[in-house]
Amino acid sequence: MMPINNFNKTKIKIYSTNKGIKVVDSPIKIQILNILEGQVSEADIVKHVGKSKSTISVHLKNLIEEGIISFKSHPLDRRSKLFYIVAEYIGEIYPNQIIYQMPEINSPLSDKEKLFTEVFRQYKSILLMHGLQLEPLEVKAGVKIGKSLYSTLSFQNFDELIKAIVDKFEQLGMGHIKVSSDNPLILKNKSCCECEDMQYNLPICNITKGILKAIFEEYYEMEVSIEEVECISKYDDCCSYLIETKANNS
């Protein structure tokens, strides 16, 4: 079954706050939150969202009351405020969206590794079936795993690091990694275990993203961004990861 063409990208954002879990389904509030990378003035928010100052003020007040954002005085103009996010973004819900194919259990669950792999795949499928994408939490889990894996890799230079990653993925049954581009760095995984037999309209290999993020951040000793630009679940030929350091992006 192929993905439907009129995929609805409307989404509800989920945040963990000091007042509990909060969901944001207002398109205007979501626009505001998308703008708040760092500290942003109300004037800039009004400009980017394209709504009146009074409308933006109401939404900002509500987001503050919900514990999702906060503010401080502008250092150059005490009459102006800078707004920023204080809650942890933990995922999003795509209303009325389903996973198009649930993974089958095709072989006996004969050992602990197979059992826990299948538990993860089925659990993730159920979340996706209900339109629940917990990318930030899954990436965070992947980062923790990646830091542990990094300590087991043996290498002297970058080329040896890549070979160590390839070997580790093969050893753990995580897929077959190869480099498809050096600049920018793009890794392709031809047999990704994370999205095997799943069909969805979005990239979903967030654990793998977190693992690669941690490995390259440990190596470069700086922040690294990972974007899954292709995913087998979307009928791409492979899962591809664009890897860039903060220095590359600046």
In this predicted model, what pLDDT tens digit does every residue of 66-101 receive, in sequence order? 999 999 998 888 788 999 999 999 999 987 666 666
Handedness of CA 222, 169, 189, 98 (dihedral sign): negative
User: Do residues 187 and 212 make contact, with C-beta atoms less than 8 angstroms apart?
Assistant: yes
Residue 150 has pLDDT above 90, yes or no: yes
Q: What is the pTM of this model?
A: 0.84
Average pLDDT over residues 170-182: 94
User: Do residues 15 and 68 make contact, with C-beta atoms less than 8 angstroms apart?
Assistant: yes
Residue 248 has pLDDT above 70, yes or no: no
Higher pLDDT, 130 or 250: 130
What average pLDDT does the structure give for the chain?
89
* 3-class secondary-structure state, position 93: strand
| Distance from C-alpha of 121 to C-alpha of 135, rounded to nearest angstrom | 15
pLDDT number for residue 249: 59
Higher pLDDT, 69 or 118: 69
User: Do residues 161 and 214 make contact, with C-beta atoms less than 8 angstroms apart?
Assistant: no
Determine what percent of the chain is predicted with pLDDT higher than 90: 68
Please report the domains of the chain, with CATH numbers, ordered by start residue: 12-90 (1.10.10.10), 111-249 (3.30.1380.20)
pLDDT band at 7 (very low <50, low <70, confident <90, very high): very low
CA angle centred on 51, ends 25 and 69, rounded to 5°? 50
| Distance from C-alpha of 145 to C-alpha of 66, rounded to nearest angstrom | 32
Residue 198 has pLDDT above 60, yes or no: yes
User: Do residues 215 and 149 make contact, with C-beta atoms less than 8 angstroms apart?
Assistant: yes
Range with lowest mean pLDDT among 15-19, 115-119, 137-141, 222-226: 115-119
Average pLDDT over residues 97-113: 74
Alpha carbon separation from 210 to 149, 226, 244 (Å, rounded)? 12, 8, 14
Average pLDDT over residues 29-33: 94
